[in-house]
A and B are shown apart, each in its own frame.
Chain A
Amino acid sequence: NAGVTQTPKFRILKIGQSMTLQCTQDMNHNYMYWYRQDPGMGLKLIYYSVGAGITDKGEVPNGYNVSRSTTEDFPLRLELAAPSQTSVYFCASSPLGNSNYGYTFGSGTRLTVV
């Protein structure tokens, strides 16, 4: 059981470039999340999804877009990358938003924008 898988693990982008961070889970979880973690800070929510075809903004959505066409996949799109988007990005999933089973996280994507 792979859990939550994120690709790539590392990426360097130039300012203005675009990229998609991939996230897939094999636990049939309805809820999926994208967080970013900056040094010395807690994780902040970017976007979340409660099921295929349904997405909503989190605390820090500017500069990002998401889609959820299947239960398994929840890609995060960066358009016109900026240095402020240098961060570590984590994808997570849960059976329910307030699940008694908690949340499962991927291993992260470390992104540097230069």
Chain B
Amino acid sequence: KQEVTQIPAALSVPEGENLVLNCSFTDSAIYNLQWFRQDPGKGLTSLLLIQSSQREQTSGRLNASLDKSSGRSTLYIAASQPGDSATYLCAVIGGGADGLTFGKGTHLIIQP
């Protein structure tokens, strides 16, 4: 059974810092990996989707990398802003029809 772990569980940093969120998964036979953002009391917003044949994806200040062989992904946030404060969820997509397997998330606070 696929298991996804996100480290750290919580992170608080001053505004302007660059930061890295980590995601690891136990079964490397994945198709894709998707990073989401969740604001308090809200739904999930897709940030980046990395296909298994790709090693990274970039969107603005966000960069996500994927190393299937080691079962790891990182989400890099450059020049953090208070508006980046949210919970970040990592999810892997396996070969079956049964959807995403999620980590528990990293709760990020950016201090003004």
> A residues within 8 Å of B by Cβ?
31, 33, 35, 40-45, 48, 50, 56, 58, 90, 92, 94, 97-108, 110
Q: Are B42 and A108 in contact (CB under 8 A)?
A: yes
A33/B43 contact (C-beta < 8 A), A40-B104, A42-B89, A98-B94 known: no
Q: Are A97 and B51 in contact (CB under 8 A)?
A: no
Chain A nearest CB from B110 CB (Å) reads 21
Neighbour of A31 across the interface among B45, B97, B104, CB < 8 A: B97
Residues of B within 8 A of A58 (CB): 98-99
> B residues within 8 Å of A by Cβ?
4, 31-32, 34, 36, 41-46, 49, 51, 89, 91, 93-100, 102-105
Q: Are A102 and B49 in contact (CB under 8 A)?
A: yes
| Separation of A52 and B45 alpha carbons in the complex (Å) | 26
Most buried by B among A43, A50, A58, A94: A43
A97/B104 contact (C-beta < 8 A), A42-B4, A42-B89, A105-B44 known: no
A56/B42 contact (C-beta < 8 A), A40-B104, A42-B4 known: no
Chain B nearest CB from A74 CB (Å) reads 12
24 A-B residue contacts at CB 8 Å?
A33-B100, A40-B104, A42-B104, A42-B105, A43-B91, A43-B102, A48-B97, A58-B99, A90-B43, A90-B44, A92-B99, A92-B100, A97-B96, A97-B97, A98-B31, A98-B32, A98-B95, A98-B96, A100-B49, A102-B46, A105-B36, A105-B44, A105-B46, A108-B42
